[in-house]
């Protein structure tokens, strides 16, 4: 009887320790999706959102927190890490990019995202000539990207807006990016972001993206770069 109790206690202790070990002690958090999986229907379908957020994003996150642990990145900001990207191994670039870019992407979309602020619209006009010219350049970056990657709208060091087309999970905050800047808008053009609904018709996905852009958030991000 006593042996049984000891055995049970040992088992309980082991389970407790496994539970403790599995707990996430990373300083990097896994953000909640700011809307329901079907909120961006019909432009971005529920199934795509479920796979994209629950599987792809979570895998980037899980791999990044492992890489963060290995490379002693806990406590650092993503901006700080990206500014020193070239000093870190490729896992930090791929998984850190995957983590940050997706968290950013969920934020700049919404079922009712409003319109660009007057000040952002002015900056778009000054940087691209017109809103339509900006859309054309952004769509071109998204549609002509060969392989996997992202289209970006970012603010350079002089305050000017620019469109960037970057491979894989790179972003304009990384010191390895051809042109450095603070991102305010991004579009994931990896096939996993649209293939379930759009198959090979990436251009349709890109066109529909404008219907779910959270311009209120994008304008906020732009405003922050002015400080
Ligand atoms: Mn993705």
Q: How many residues does the chain have?
A: 227
Domains within the chain, CATH numbers bracketed: 42-227 (3.55.40.20)
20: pLDDT confidence band, cut at 50, 70 and 90?
A: very low
Going from the Cα of 151 to the center of ligand 1, the distance in angstroms, rounded, reads 12
Q: Work out the angle at residue 219's Cα, subtended by the Cα atoms of residues 218 and 224, and round it to the nearest 5 degrees.
A: 100
- Tell me the HSE value of 203 on the side-chain side, using a 13 A CA sphere: 3
Q: pTM here?
A: 0.89
Given a contact cutoff of 8 angstroms between Cβ atoms, the answer to whether 152 and 163 are in contact is: yes
Going from the Cα of 52 to the center of ligand 1, the distance in angstroms, rounded, reads 6
Phi, psi of 118 (to 5 degrees): -60, -40
What is the average per-residue pLDDT within 9-38? 73
Which residues have a Cβ under 8 Å from the Cβ of 128 and sit 6 or more positions away? 134, 137, 161
Given a contact cutoff of 8 angstroms between Cβ atoms, the answer to whether 57 and 85 are in contact is: no
Name the 3-class secondary structure at 76: coil
Given a contact cutoff of 8 angstroms between Cβ atoms, the answer to whether 212 and 40 are in contact is: yes
Going from the Cα of 187 to the center of ligand 1, the distance in angstroms, rounded, reads 9
Going from the Cα of 37 to the center of ligand 1, the distance in angstroms, rounded, reads 15
pLDDT 10s digits, 65-124: 999 999 999 999 999 999 999 999 999 999 999 999 999 999 999 999 999 999 999 999
Which CA distances in Å does 22 have to 19, 27, 53, 70, 180? 5, 15, 21, 16, 37
What ranges in the chain are assigned the alpha helix state H?
A: 2-22, 46-50, 58-70, 78-83, 90-91, 97-107, 118-128, 131-144, 195-198, 202-209, 215-225
Going from the Cα of 69 to the center of ligand 1, the distance in angstroms, rounded, reads 23
Going from the Cα of 219 to the center of ligand 1, the distance in angstroms, rounded, reads 23
Checking if the pLDDT of 154 tops 70, the result is yes
Going from the Cα of 168 to the center of ligand 1, the distance in angstroms, rounded, reads 10
Going from the Cα of 104 to the center of ligand 1, the distance in angstroms, rounded, reads 11
Going from the Cα of 55 to the center of ligand 1, the distance in angstroms, rounded, reads 10
């Amino acid at each position: 009887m006593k042996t049984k109790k000891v055995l049970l206690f040992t088992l309980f202790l082991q389970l407790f320790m496994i539970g403790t070990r599995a707990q996430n002690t990373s300083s990097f958090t896994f953000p909640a999706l700011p809307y329901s999986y079907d909120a961006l229907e019909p432009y971005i379908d529920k199934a795509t959102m479920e796979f994209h957020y629950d599987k792809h994003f979570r895998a980037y996150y899980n791999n990044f927190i492992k890489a963060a642990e290995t490379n002693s990145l806990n406590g650092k900001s993503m901006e700080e890490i990206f500014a020193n990207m070239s000093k870190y191994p490729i896992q930090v670039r791929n998984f850190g990019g995957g983590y940050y870019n997706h968290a950013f992407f969920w934020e700049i979309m919404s079922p009712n995202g409003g319109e660009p602020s007057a000040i952002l619209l002015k900056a778009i006009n000054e940087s691209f000539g017109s809103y339509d010219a900006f859309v054309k350049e952004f769509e071109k970056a998204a549609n002509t990207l060969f392989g996997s990657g992202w289209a970006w709208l970012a603010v350079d060091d002089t305050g000017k807006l620019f469109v960037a087309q970057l491979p894989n999970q790179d972003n304009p905050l990384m010191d390895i990016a051809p042109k450095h800047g603070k991102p305010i808008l991004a579009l994931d053009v990896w096939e996993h972001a649209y293939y379930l609904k759009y198959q090979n018709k990436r251009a349709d996905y890109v066109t529909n993206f404008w219907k779910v852009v959270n311009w209120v958030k994008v304008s906020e991000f732009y405003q922050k770069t002015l400080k």
